[in-house]
Amino acid sequence: MTNNQKILKAKGRPLLQWVGKKPLEKVEYFPAQEKEVYGDKKAKEFNKLFWGDNLQVLSHLLKDYRGKVDLIYIDPPFDSKADYVKKVRIRGEQVSGIKQSLIEEKQYADIWENDEYLQFMYERLMILKELLSDTGSIYIHLDWHKASYLKILMDEIFGQDNFTNEIIWYYWNKFQMRDMGSYARNHDNIFVYAKDKSRVKFYPQTQQLDRPKKLKKIYWDADKGRIQNVKDDKGKVVYEEVHDEKVDDVWDIPYLGTTAKERSDYPTQKPEELIKRIINSSSEPGDLVLDCFIGSGSTAASAQKLGRKWLGCDINIGAIQTTTKRLTQIINEQKGDSGLVESFSGSLGFKVFAVNDYDIFKNEVEAKDIVMDIYGVEPIKRSYFDGVLDNKYVKVMPLNRVCNKLDISKLLETIQSRSDEFKPKSSSSADETIYEQGVLMICSGMETDIHDYLKRENKTGVEVEVRDLLTHKKSLIFKEKPEARISIEVSGKNLKVTLQEFYSPILMRKLEIENEKSVKDESKARVEDFKQIIDSVAIDVDYDGKLFNAEVMDVPGKKDLIAGVYDWEYKKHGKNTVAVKLVDVLGDEYFETFDVEVK
């Protein structure tokens, strides 16, 4: 049985050529790992948010959603040759120093070779066409960099006959640097295509006028085959006062301001007003909306508010975290509105999945050799370990899959059985031997709670470090994980979780770098409360080791701090595992579990 899924040929003629153009005839199916659940845990259907390469995510979705997506909106990279950064703000109003927005965290680089960009878009658009329903539409958001190329590409894939509109989004309030000899650029292009123009859903929208207009009242005269003015008994033309007008293909919608309530400081964020108009124009409540470049989560947020179901994905973990936080806040507000809940056509719950192809190299042996060469590992033969680096044995895990807890267990068992290969350094107070050498495990992706599991299970006396190649494969500068001290108290059926300390080494270093640029001492930022650098807290009070169920969520407003103390009442006695996930303002995560017994 094959995992390959067939892709139908493009509808139009191939008018655009580039070096390396390859037709997409089939795609491999990639499984998804269910990681987290938010909102209503008993929802009949869940909206879905996927972390991974969107080509692999779309391939995964084909199995269950082929021909079932009612509306697609995508805001792909524009090939602008720019780096996009997220402005990171330390939380709270009581921050010392006048600069609150201190750090710019790079989210992605929009830098491509022309041919690579076109092939990248071609493959994804081909799969999106397969996912779109027969009555569905796709909106692709672009600017001047590649709009002309993508228009031809869309004609090939969807067919020229299915082109419905080019929308001009005019944003008068965005300051633009003007090149010498050219006009300032103050608009984006949005191309709209139908799967089948003869069957497409479309609902004309109206917009409020700044001031009422008096217009001639008209009607269609079927006998004369033309529009006629309505006249009164005296033969005078009748005028009517109009307060709104139909929306045309030029949309005058302001760019998202710096003080906008919905602003998340994520680069390329689009206003909800723009996305809501698209959703209202081309879908009905309960319809399914897809965005495979989810970014700040504006599409999912707008769909959620308008009672649509949604699917979203992004390769950037920062986008997943931003969207998760944003949707959690929206759903919490919706759940508090009893009238809305009864008539809601969407879903009040969503799940987060990971879809990853960890096959970086086609040749597994070559992969191991390259990785060892990059790190400067000295190979050793006839051993379970692959080499030696400094004072550590090195084990390179298979690079075509994620490292899991089973891998850690096997590694610890092997270390225990080969303890004679390690040189004793000392004995602890419990007469446990501590060894001089450590072990470095190199993997290509890992489960969220690997570090916590390793800390709990390692009784070997050998220090074990796990490094994720996917996170660090380009720059060999390894991020230090955040550290936290959390206390857990159980009294009867009552659980209390208290965050006592939190420290992010990478954030502190970035703050130091930014503060060095400040001439005046009073303009330097100082973190006086660890809560200022925590963006969100999620707690699963009964973690099963697989799916993180966020029973407790703390996502404060922009100027607020997390509570830091959380209470929960269990309904029955027994043993439970409490899992706590903290996300700092840079998007780095801390995860720890605790075993408790409710008596």
* CA nearest neighbour of 167 among 144, 140, 145: 140
Contact criterion met (CB below 8 Å) for 370 and 361: yes
| Same structural domain, 339 and 272 | yes
Domain contains 510? yes
Q: How far apart are CA 105 and CA 44, in angstroms?
A: 38
Q: What is the CATH number of the domain that holds 415?
A: 3.40.1350
Q: How far apart are CA 258 and CA 423, in angstroms?
A: 59
Domain contains 98? no
Q: What percent of the chain has pLDDT over 70?
A: 84
For 443-500, give the DSSP string: ES-B-TTHHHHHHHH--SSS-EEEEEHHHHSSS--PPPPPEEEEEEEEETTEEEEEEE
Q: How far apart are CA 443 and CA 451, in angstroms?
A: 13
| Same structural domain, 131 and 260 | yes
pLDDT of res. 312:
98
| Same structural domain, 226 and 272 | no
- Using DSSP's 3-state secondary structure scheme, residue 242 falls into strand
Query: Using alpha carbons only, how large is the chain's radius of gyration in Å?
Result: 28
Q: Report which DSSP code applies to 574.
A: E
Range in 87-101, 132-146, 221-235, 280-294 the model is least confident about: 87-101
pLDDT of res. 87:
57
For range 32-60, the mean pLDDT? 92
Q: Two tokens at 113?
A: 């070779």
Q: What is the CATH number of the domain that holds 261?
A: 3.40.50.150
Domain limit, last residue, from 327, 354, 381:
354
At residue 581, does pLDDT exceed 60? yes
82 vs 371, residue with greater confidence: 371
* CA nearest neighbour of 573 among 496, 497, 495: 495
| Same structural domain, 70 and 164 | yes
Range in 134-138, 252-256, 296-300, 535-539 the model is least confident about: 252-256
pLDDT band per the 50, 70, 90 thresholds, residue 360: very low
Residue entry with tokens 């008209």: 218
Sequence-distant (≥ 6) Cβ neighbours of residue 11 within 8 angstroms: 156, 157, 158, 159, 162
Q: What is the CATH number of the domain that holds 509?
A: 2.60.40.10
Residue 65, number of CB atoms within 10 A of its CB: 18
* CA nearest neighbour of 102 among 114, 118, 86: 86
Q: How far apart are CA 271 and CA 173, in angstroms?
A: 13
Q: How far apart are CA 483 and CA 476, in angstroms?
A: 21
Range in 11-25, 99-113, 371-385, 493-507 the model is least confident about: 99-113
| Same structural domain, 529 and 502 | yes
pLDDT of res. 564:
96
Give the phi and the psi of residue 121 in degrees, each rounded to 5. -70, -40
Q: Two tokens at 203?
A: 């609902």
Domain contains 359? no
- Condensed to tens digits (0 to 9), the pLDDT of residues 185-214 reads 899 999 999 999 999 999 999 998 888 888
Q: How far is CA 402 from the centre of its chain?
A: 19
Contact criterion met (CB below 8 Å) for 591 and 580: yes
For range 143-159, the mean pLDDT? 94
| Same structural domain, 126 and 188 | yes
Domain contains 85? no
pLDDT of res. 427:
58
pLDDT of res. 285:
96
Q: How far apart are CA 556 and CA 400, in angstroms?
A: 38
Q: Report which DSSP code applies to 533.
A: G
At residue 104, does pLDDT exceed 70? no
Domain contains 447? yes
At residue 345, does pLDDT exceed 80? yes
Domain contains 103? no
Domain limit, last residue, from 296, 319, 354:
354
Range in 54-58, 101-105, 415-419, 540-544 the model is least confident about: 101-105
For range 411-420, the mean pLDDT? 89
pLDDT band per the 50, 70, 90 thresholds, residue 10: confident
pLDDT of res. 108:
46
pLDDT of res. 313:
96
Q: How far apart are CA 136 and CA 193, in angstroms?
A: 9
| Same structural domain, 191 and 154 | yes
| Same structural domain, 175 and 220 | no
Report the mean per-residue pLDDT for the chain: 85
Q: Where are the beta strands (DSSP E) in 195-306?
A: 206-216, 218-221, 226-229, 239-246, 250-252, 288-291
For range 532-538, the mean pLDDT? 92
Q: Where are the beta strands (DSSP E) in 77-205?
A: 82-89, 101-110, 132-142, 163-170, 187-194
For 111-125, give the DSSP string: ---HHHHHHHHHHHH
**How long is the chain?**
599
pLDDT of res. 117:
86
At residue 174, does pLDDT exceed 50? yes
For range 290-297, the mean pLDDT? 95
Domain limit, last residue, from 300, 335, 354:
354
Q: How far apart are CA 345 and CA 46, in angstroms?
A: 12
pLDDT of res. 184:
83
pLDDT band per the 50, 70, 90 thresholds, residue 101: very low
Give the phi and the psi of residue 348 in degrees, each rounded to 5. -100, 20
Tell me how many domains the chain contains: 4
Range of 381's domain? 364-472
- Condensed to tens digits (0 to 9), the pLDDT of residues 457-482 reads 999 888 999 988 776 654 333 456 78
506 backbone φψ class: left, alpha, beta (φ>0; ψ -120 to 50): alpha
Q: What percent of the chain has pLDDT over 90?
A: 48
Sequence-distant (≥ 6) Cβ neighbours of residue 113 within 8 angstroms: none
At residue 323, does pLDDT exceed 50? yes
pLDDT of res. 105:
54
pLDDT of res. 2:
54
pLDDT of res. 173:
79
| Same structural domain, 526 and 450 | no
Domain contains 106? no
Q: Give 3-state DSSP helix, strand, coil % of the chain, rounded to 5.
A: 25, 35, 40
At residue 85, does pLDDT exceed 60? no
The crossing angle, in degrees rounded to 10, of helices 114-131 and 54-65 is: 20
Contact criterion met (CB below 8 Å) for 460 and 419: yes
pLDDT of res. 305:
97
| Same structural domain, 258 and 406 | no
**Distance between start and end Cα atoms, the chain:** 51
| Same structural domain, 432 and 328 | no
At residue 21, does pLDDT exceed 90? no
At residue 368, does pLDDT exceed 90? no
pLDDT of res. 357:
45
Q: How far apart are CA 568 and CA 554, in angstroms?
A: 13
Domain contains 93? no
Task: Tell me the β-bridge partners of 236.
Answer: none
| Same structural domain, 570 and 520 | yes
At residue 291, does pLDDT exceed 90? yes
Cβ burial 355-389 (10 Å sphere, 16+ → b, else e): bbbbeeeeeeeebbbebbeebebeeeeeeebbbbb
91 vs 467, residue with greater confidence: 467
At residue 414, does pLDDT exceed 50? yes
